């Protein structure tokens, strides 16, 4: 698009049609939002960056003399549905100016798209532009999901004085941790790279077919060696950044410095609302963000539902939008009374929503020991008992079944068949006499050995119902250090009720593919490695145990509220 045509678009106000207003009103009612208060127009604008690049945005302007405030959302996924609805129209109809911006190199914005790399300076330049607009209300908040949450952390690394609040939905602050945090590469980011490199394909039918086929294509590419070659075959000329992600594996590598903002957790002082799901791939970072800000006495709130990453814009949308509006009205629109009854609201899987004064609540540690013959018990077995063994074959890795994923296949799933696999160890406890509530991160401590120093471990806690059906609760993964004999793996945080009559199950495997790239077993770089070598794992009894942070249902105050 030429600058001339872009400027012509700038002068063209686009009011919402009568049909569009009706649909927006119907959606607001379905989401149980406050009634829309104003009409709005949409103007396409261009925003100059310090290097001369101009970024495209849509400005949603409420037709009211008393706007509630200004909102900024920045992302790479375009400015149409679902982002125009979830982060612009619903708020503009309730009195907010909204700037929905396409980041550098995406959907008409100039420059080259390098994921995460330019977000801090580009966000600062966008705020500088905001200050100069005659309609700017003087204070603004940031909102957005996933990458649109990361762009908020980039801005919070050096918060501008006009910033009044932030609502960050499943937004990581450290991209290196997201990609390599377990020590193994997260294949989700090959899938993500493939998606964003093709998302602007003008041939919509072809693009739709490609999206349907993408998970199988990504899995096939991740199954081949070397991964660098097969990934490039999948990506074609797109995603030029991908190989560099595979090359730089260490957390201390300066390569990642422009893609992580841990300092933002120390610099932010404005009220922050964090929204997440127990099955989201970034839930650990969200909990870390909450705990860090809370310990600094920042005004921070946390809501976690039973959702995956992509469900934040589907099943979780109603709650997320309602809580976002409440937060904005309180901290930007100057609502007289805060409507949030507690800092923390979590969904206890197997029970329902609960309000808490903090996270995690008070718990006591409960130990369950791995026992011979697949049992899980309250006391340790004899130390001289033979270990349990399984063989990991990188040519046939253990398949991913549910859990935190970027695909629709993630979330809570029936994983009964996993316990029957030869490459999985399964330990199942006796039926519970009473409900057991767990709040926080389970930990599996293993006395472990392997005949191959290059090894990974996947662990899962599941709940087995009275009919023998197993369902995942929490996962953990780690690449082991050479010669590591005592292994401690922290699983994903949970709020879960194990129901009386159900049984707790621990699953252990040497891979979790394609959620994580398989360990080749040779120590070769993932980018270029070709050889595959199997490993026999041994789990030794005595000290191997599951640690559960157990709490009391009676200690959880629930002042009311909906469950949906």
What is the percent of the chain where pLDDT is above 70? 92
pLDDT digits (tens, 9 = 90+) for 70-89: 999 999 999 999 999 999 99
pLDDT score at 30: 87
Query: Which residues, in sequence order, are CB contacts of 149 under 8 Å at separation 6+?
Result: 168, 169, 170, 171, 172
Domain tally for the chain?
3
Q: What angle do CA 510, 513, 514 make, to 5 degrees?
A: 155
Residue, of 305 and 32, whose pLDDT is higher = 305
Cα–Cα distance measured from residue 418 to residue 511, given in angstroms and rounded to the nearest whole number: 12
Other CB atoms within a 10 A radius of the CB of residue 232 amount to 17
Considering the domain boundaries, does residue 563 fall inside one?
A: no
Instruction: Kindly state whether residues 407 and 481 are assigned to the same domain.
Output: yes
178 and 279 inside one domain: yes
CATH number of the domain within which 432 lies: 2.60.120.260
Residue in this structure with the two tokens 């400005």, named with its chain if needed? 59
Q: Taking a C-beta distance cutoff of 8 angstroms, is the pair 100, 76 a contact?
A: no
Q: Which contacts of 417-422 are long-range, i.e. CB under 8 A and separated by 24 or more positions? A: 418/460, 418/470, 418/507, 418/509, 419/470, 419/505, 419/507, 421/509, 422/390, 422/391
Across residues 493-503, what is the average pLDDT?
98
Last residue of a domain, one of 300, 326, 356: 356
Boundary of a domain, candidates 226, 248, 270: 248
Q: Which two tokens stand for residue 126?
A: 């966008």
**pLDDT at residue number 205:** 52
22: pLDDT strictly greater than 50 = yes
Question: Could you tell me the CATH number of the domain that includes residue 136?
Answer: 3.40.50.1820
304 strand-pairing partners: 276, 346
Would you call 25 helix, strand, or coil by DSSP?
Answer: helix
- Distance (Å, rounded) from C-alpha 269 to C-alpha 111? 32
Compute the distance between CA of residue 83 and CA of residue 326 in angstroms, rounded to an integer.
19
Same structural domain, 373 and 463: yes
Co-location of 177 and 198 in the same domain: no
Do the Cβ atoms of 274 and 302 come closer than 8 Å?
A: yes
Q: If you average pLDDT over residues 170-189, what whole number do you get? A: 98
Return the closest-CA partner of residue 109 out of 27, 28, 52: 52
For residue 9, what pLDDT is reported? 41
Judge if 204 and 172 occupy the same domain: no
Is residue 218 pLDDT above 90, yes or no? yes
- How confident is the model over 301-330, as a mean pLDDT? 97
Q: Is the domain of 167 the same as that of 291?
A: yes
How far apart are alpha carbons 398 and 457 in whole angstroms? 11
Query: What stretches of 365-478 show up as alpha helix (H) in DSSP?
Result: none
Q: Is 513 within 8 Å of 532 (Cβ atoms)?
A: no
Task: Please identify, among 319, 339, 356, the residue that sits at the C-terminal boundary of a domain.
Answer: 356
The domain in which residue 163 lies consists of 34-182+261-356
How many angstroms separate the CA atoms of 141 and 155, rounded? 11
CA 61 to chain centre: 31
Q: For residue 558, tell me if it sits in a domain.
A: no
Tell me if 551 sits within 8 A of 543, measured CB to CB: no
Contacts of 277 by beta carbon, 8 Å cutoff, 6+ apart: 170, 283, 304, 305, 306, 307, 308, 309, 311, 312, 316
Q: Answer yes or no: do 175 and 107 share one domain.
A: yes
- pTM for this model (two decimals): 0.94
For residues 130 and 507, what is the distance between their CA atoms, to the nearest angstrom?
A: 52
Same domain assignment for residues 409 and 537: yes
User: What is the model's pLDDT at position 552?
Assistant: 87
Query: With 60 as the cut, is the pLDDT of residue 12 above it?
Result: no
Whether residue 308 is found in the same domain as residue 205: no
In whole angstroms, what is the distance from residue 320 CA to residue 339 CA? 14
Are 127 and 267 in a shared domain? yes
User: Confidence class of residue 209 from pLDDT cuts 50, 70 and 90?
Assistant: low
State the DSSP code for 517.
P
Q: Identify the pLDDT of residue 554.
A: 54
Using DSSP bridges, classify how beta strands 344-348 and 300-308 pair: parallel, antiparallel or unpaired.
parallel
The answer to whether residue 318 sits within a structural domain is: yes
Q: Tokens representing 6?
A: 């872009």
Indicate whether 24 pLDDT > 90.
Answer: no
Residues 348 and 492 in one domain: no
The answer to whether 104 and 55 are in contact (CB under 8 A) is yes
Which tokens go with 235?
């990506």
Asked whether residue 197 falls in the same domain as residue 168, the answer is no
The whole-number average pLDDT for the span 112-128 is: 98
Instruction: Pick 56 or 5 by higher pLDDT.
Output: 56
């Amino acid at each position: 698009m030429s600058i001339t045509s872009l400027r012509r678009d700038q002068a063209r106000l686009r009011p919402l049609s009568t049909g569009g207003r009706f649909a927006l009103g119907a959606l607001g009612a379905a989401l149980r939002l406050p009634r829309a208060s104003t009409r709005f127009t949409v103007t396409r604008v261009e925003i100059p960056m310090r290097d001369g690049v101009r970024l495209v945005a849509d400005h949603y302007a409420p037709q009211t003399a008393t706007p509630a405030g200004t909102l900024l959302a920045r992302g790479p996924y375009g400015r149409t549905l679902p982002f125009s609805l979830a982060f612009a129209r619903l708020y503009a109809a309730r009195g907010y100016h909204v700037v929905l911006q396409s980041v550098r190199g995406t959907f008409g914005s100039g420059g080259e798209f390098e994921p995460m790399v330019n977000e801090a300076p580009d966000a600062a330049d966008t705020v500088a532009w905001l200050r100069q607009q005659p309609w700017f209300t003087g204070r603004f908040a940031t909102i957005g999901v996933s990458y649109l949450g990361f762009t908020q952390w980039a801005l919070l690394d050096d918060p501008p004085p006009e910033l009044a609040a932030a609502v960050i939905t499943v937004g990581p602050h450290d991209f290196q941790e997201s990609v390599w945090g377990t020590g193994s590469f997260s294949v989700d980011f090959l899938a993500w790279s493939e998606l964003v490199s093709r998302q602007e394909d003008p041939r919509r039918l072809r693009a739709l077919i490609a999206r349907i086929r993408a998970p199988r294509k990504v899995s096939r590419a991740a199954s081949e060696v070397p991964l660098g070659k097969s990934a490039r075959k999948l990506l074609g000329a797109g995603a030029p950044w991908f190989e560099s992600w595979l090359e730089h594996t260490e957390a201390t590598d300066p390569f990642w410095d422009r893609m992580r903002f841990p300092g933002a957790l120390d610099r932010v002082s404005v009220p922050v609302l964090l929204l997440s799901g127990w099955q989201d791939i970034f839930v650990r970072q969200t909990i870390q963000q909450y705990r860090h800000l809370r310990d600094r006495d920042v005004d921070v709130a946390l809501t976690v539902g039973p959702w995956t990453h992509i469900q934040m814009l589907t099943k979780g949308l109603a709650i997320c939008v309602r809580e976002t509006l409440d937060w904005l009205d309180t901290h930007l629109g100057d609502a007289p009374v805060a409507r949030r009854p507690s800092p923390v609201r979590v969904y206890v899987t197997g029970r329902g929503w609960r309000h808490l004064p903090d996270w995690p609540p008070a718990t006591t540690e409960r130990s369950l020991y791995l026992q011979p013959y697949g049992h899980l018990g309250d006391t340790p077995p004899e130390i001289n008992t033979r270990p349990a063994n399984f063989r990991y074959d990188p040519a046939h890795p253990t398949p991913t079944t549910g859990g935190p994923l970027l695909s629709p296949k993630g979330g809570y799933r029936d994983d009964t068949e996993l316990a029957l696999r030869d490459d999985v160890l399964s330990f199942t406890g006796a039926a519970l006499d009473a409900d057991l509530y767990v709040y926080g991160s389970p930990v599996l401590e293993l006395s472990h050995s392997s005949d191959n120093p290059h090894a990974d471990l996947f662990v899962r806690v599941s709940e087995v119902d009275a009919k023998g059906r197993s369902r995942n609760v929490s996962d953990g993964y780690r690449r082991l250090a050479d010669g590591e004999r005592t292994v401690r793996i922290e699983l994903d945080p949970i709020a879960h009720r194990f129901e009386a009559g159900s049984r707790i199950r621990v699953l252990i495997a040497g891979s979790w593919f394609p959620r994580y790239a398989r360990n080749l077993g040779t120590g070769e770089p993932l980018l270029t490695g070709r050889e595959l070598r199997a490993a026999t794992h041994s789990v030794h009894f005595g000290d191997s145990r599951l640690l559960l942070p157990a709490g009391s249902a009676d200690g959880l105050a629930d002042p009311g509220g909906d469950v949906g």
